[in-house]
Amino acid sequence: MRELRNISRLFAALWRLVRGEDQRGRKVRWLVGQLRPYRGRVALMFVGLALATAAGLAPPYLAGRAIDSGILAGDVAALDLIVVAFVVVSVLYAAATYLQTYMVGWVGTRVLQDLRQRVFVHLQSMSIGFFTRRSPGVLISRMTNDIEALNQLVTSGVVTMFSSTLTLVGVVVIMLALDVQLALVTFLTLPLLAIASIAFRIVSQGAYRATRERIAAITAYLQESLSGVRVVRSFGQEPRHVDEMTELNEQNRAVNMKTVYLNASYFPAVELLAAVATATILLYGGSQAIDGAIQIGVIVAFVGYLNTFFEPIQQLSQLYTTYQQGMAALDKIFDLLDTEADMIDAPEANDPGTLRGEIELDGVWFSYGEGDEPGADSWALRGVDLHVPPGQTLALVGATGAGKSTFAKLVARFYDPQQGRVLVDGHDLRGVQQRALRRQLGIVPQEGFLFSGSVRENIAFGRPEAGEEEIEAAIATVGATQFVAALPQRIETQIGERGVQLSAGQRQLVAFARALLAEPRILILDEATSNVDVRTERTIERGLERLLQGRTAIVIAHRLSTIRRAGKIVVLDGGKIAEQGTHEELIDAGGPYSKLYGAWAESSAA
C-alpha cells in the first residue's frame, strides 16, 4: 500500500506545513513569499489550472448527454446544443491549458531565477574563509542542481498536486452523481491499480537509478578516454580500452533490461485493468440499463471517464519523491542563506582615501582554525612584527607552510588576525572599509587565474572604465604586446574553457597587465614556480620589474632574480620571521638564507 501511504504522507506533510509545526514551514512560507511580486500571474496560473481541469472533465459527460437527451430522445435541437457545448468546452480546455502551461513555466522559472541571484549575491558577501571551508562543488551545486530540484517541485509538483487531486475528486463526484451503484462498482478496480502501481514504483525506482548510474559511468569513461587519448595512443593500449568499454556497455545493457521487464509487466497490466473495468461497466451497467434503472449515455460516459480516472492516481504516486527532493534542496539552500556573512564592515569603518602604501604588522598571531583558542600547532603566524615603508618590494621566502601566503592574505584582509593588528598607512584594517582598501590593492595569483571572456575583459577586470590607450599601454608595459598581437582576434580573443588556451607564461603576463591597469597602491604577487621557456621567462622578468615600480609590493618569491631585486627579504620559518634584510646583508650574515644560496650556487654550477 506504499502508493496510498505516499499520498497520505504527502498530505500529512502539507498539513504540518500549513499548521507551521515544521521547521520547513518557515522556509516554504518564505518561498511562497517570493511569489508575491508575481501575484497577478500566479492568480492567472491557478485560474488556468482550475478551468483546464474542469473543462477536461466535461467531454465524456457531454457525450453521454448527447446520447440520452439528444439521440435517444430524438431531439435534434438538444443534440446541436450539446455539441456546441462540447466544442466550447474543448476550446476552453485548450485556452486554459495554454494559460496554465505558460504561466507555470513563467512563474516557476522567474522565481528560481530570483532565488539563484539571491544565492549568488549571498555567496559573494561571504569572506574568503568561508570559501576555504566549503567545497566548491557543493557551493556550485546550490546555484544549479538544488535550484533545479526546487524547480521540479514548484512547477510540475504544484501542477500535478493541484490538477490531479482536482481531477480525481471531480471524476469521483461526477460518477457518483451519475449513478452511485455503477460508480461504486467501477471503484472496485482501484485497489488493483494501486497494488500494481506500488509494486512497479518500488522496484523501478532502484532500477532507474541503476540505469542513470551506468550511463554516467559510460559518459565519464568516454570523457576520460578522450582527454587521455595521447597516453592511450603512445602506449598502444587501444584494445584494452575497447574491452573495458565493452564491459561497461554490457553492464548498461543488463540494468536497462531490468527496466524493460518492469515496463513490460506494468503498462500492459494497467491496460488490462482498464479493459476489465470497461467490461464490468458494460455488464453491470448494461443490465441496469435494460432494466431501465439508468440510461445508455451514462454507460458511455463511464467508459469515457475510466481514462481520466486512472491517470491522476498514477501521477500522484510519483509526487512524494518530487516533494522529498525539492524539500531537501530547499533545506540546503536555506542552510546557505542562513549562514550570516562574516567580516562585514563595521558601521564606523572609514575610507582612508588614497594610500601611500605603508604596511605594518604588529604582534600578529593567526590560525585558520575556528574558535579563539587554537591549538599550539595550528598557528600559521606566530607573533609577526614587520614594517614595510611605502614603495618597497618585500620578498617573502620560506618553505611551504612557513606562513608566506597567510602573511599576504592578512594584508589583503581576507582574514583578520586573532591577535595583533595589521595596519595600512597607520589604519587598523578592521576599521577600514573593505572595498576602499581592495580598490587600491592588486593581486597576481600564482596560477594567474583568468576568467573566461576576452583578453580585453580580463585585463580591464579591475578597472572596466579604462580607455583603449590605457589597456594598450598596460599590455605594452608588461611586454605582452607581441603575444596578444599573435592571437587569432588579438585583444578580443576569447580565452578560457571555450576559447584559446593560454600557456602558463601568457596567463602570467595577462595577470600582470590586469594588476597594472588597476593602478594598485599595494601589490600582492605570488610568483609562479612553473618552468617557462627562455624567451617568456625574460619577458616575465622585465614585466615584473615594471609592475613593481612605484608601489609597495609583497612578493611570495621563487625566482632568484626577483629576490635579489627586493628592497627587503623576509625569511619565514614556522610562522615566524627567521631573518630579514637585503640579499647582500643576508649573504654577509651567514644565516639560513646564505646557506641556501650557497647550496644552490653549487648545484647550478655542477
Alpha-carbon distances, residue 77 vs 82, 89, 206 (angstroms): 9, 18, 57
Residue 577 CB, nearest approach to other proteins (Å):
14
Report the residue number, 205 or 265, with the smaller CB distance to other proteins. Answer: 265
Write the DSSP assignment of 477-492 as a string of letters.
HHT-HHHHHTSTTGGG
Residue 499 CB, nearest approach to other proteins (Å):
11
Distance CA(169)–CA(167), nearest Å, equals 5
Question: Which sign does the torsion angle of CA 141, 145, 148, 154 carry?
Answer: negative
Residue 309 CB, nearest approach to other proteins (Å):
14
Distance CA(292)–CA(296), nearest Å, equals 9
Report the residue number, 66 or 316, with the smaller CB distance to other proteins. Answer: 66
Report the residue number, 169 or 257, with the smaller CB distance to other proteins. Answer: 257
Q: Specify the 3-state DSSP secondary structure of 519.
A: coil
- E strand spans, 445-585: 453-454, 494-495, 522-526, 552-556, 568-573, 576-581
Report the residue number, 6 or 440, with the smaller CB distance to other proteins. Answer: 440
Residue 255 CB, nearest approach to other proteins (Å):
10
Report the residue number, 234 or 354, with the smaller CB distance to other proteins. Answer: 234
Residue 32 CB, nearest approach to other proteins (Å):
20
Question: Which sign does the torsion angle of CA 445, 540, 387, 430 carry?
Answer: negative
Residue 93 Cα to chain centre, angstroms:
37
Residue 281 CB, nearest approach to other proteins (Å):
9
Distance CA(263)–CA(267), nearest Å, equals 6
Residue 493 CB, nearest approach to other proteins (Å):
11
Helix ranges, 75-188 (H): 76-124, 128-133, 136-143, 145-152, 158-178, 180-187
Distance CA(88)–CA(71), nearest Å, equals 20
Report the residue number, 140 or 202, with the smaller CB distance to other proteins. Answer: 140
Residue 232 CB, nearest approach to other proteins (Å):
7
Report the residue number, 66 or 153, with the smaller CB distance to other proteins. Answer: 66
Q: Which residue has the cell 499548521?
A: 19
Report the residue number, 17 or 547, with the smaller CB distance to other proteins. Answer: 547
